[in-house]
Amino acid sequence: MHAIAMNIVNNIGPSFDFLSIQWTPLLSKLSRVYMRQYEGESLAILHFKLLEMVPALETKMPLAYLVRVLGSLVDVCAEREDTRSLWRTIIDVASLAVRLHGNSQGGLQSIWKPFFKAAVTSKPTYLNYERVLEAYHVCAFQGNPLTLDRAAFSQVVRFLVGSINHLSLEETSASMRNFYCFLKEHPSVNFLWVLDSLLSLLSEIWKIHGEIASVIVQEFIKALQDDYFPSMRLSGVQLCDNPQIRPLLEKFCVVNKTEFWWECGCGTQIPASAKKVFNVLAKTQCGLDLCYMWGGVQRYRCRKELYVRFRKSTTTQSS
């Protein structure tokens, strides 16, 4: 059947009147037949040949047909050990589908389901992160970025963290740049999610690459502070004041080692640079218990000693 269909398409001439044909039922029937026979690759070949012979046909391609083409290619991916060349075909089909039908939320979700499935089920699995980010980029590039919830964003971060073990230093640098582009392209990402992701992300980079990845981390943190946070209309976000992230920033030489750490009564340690501590000490002469974890200052009656103490950073490092 495929040979017959290709022969018909190859014989389309300049005088062919494509408007005289009811393309929606024809394409729908063709895609169903190919899908039942697990001939997704052949369907894709026919699809691109049709567009080559009749370029104006793309405006007539229904959403259901394009989703079936994607779905049939996903089935092919399940049987291949290396799907890198097939993934390029999926990208081309998905780009057309998003451009034609991605303006509606329902249309975008219909396309995204098989598109995302192809990204996370194709082999080799260590390229999942690269494929997922490329899938998100395709939608954003066509002007239809997906709205992410925390679970979806966390999934992207897990893919990135899981891929670092398989990446060279140069590939890690490229992955971090792509991750930053992903953040910029998706305004639905909450900056608090980004802050939470830094701990696992920087920890994994340090574990795999160590100090030689310092330049990569320095560039990424600088981009966050100087470009990303301002573009999100955020002010006062200082990563160096975060007690969990600060030690990693010191390891990657993003910041100098803190002179000392404030130690709260509850045991939480806060970098000396934290403005919150300085402001509180400047404004009060009474005893207090400053707790970063509780998100506030609990004031008590005047006492002779403060609950806020400090330890030299050398002591902290040795412990």
Same-domain pairing of 54 and 121:
yes
Token pair for 73: 């290619």
Residues 3 and 130 in one domain: yes
36 and 74 inside one domain? yes
Looking at the structure, do residues 205 and 298 belong to the same domain, yes or no? no
pLDDT in tens, 184-203: 999 999 999 999 999 999 99
Q: What is the pLDDT of residues 149-195, one digit of tens each?
A: 999 999 999 999 999 999 999 999 999 999 999 999 999 999 999 99
Q: Is the peptide bond before 124 cis (omega within 30 degrees of 0)?
A: yes
Q: Which residues contact 282 (CB under 8 A, 6 or more apart)?
A: none
Residue 319 pLDDT > 80, yes or no? Answer: no
Shared domain for 227 and 295, answered yes or no, is no
CA atoms within 13 A on the CB side of 178: 20
More confident call, 281 vs 144: 144
Reported as a pLDDT band with limits 50, 70 and 90, residue 261 is: low
CA-to-CA distance for 291 and 269, rounded, in angstroms?
9
Q: Can you give the residue range of the structural domain that contains 309?
A: 260-318
Q: What is the pTM of this model?
A: 0.81
Is residue 6 located within the same domain as residue 132?
A: yes
Same domain, 264 and 246: no
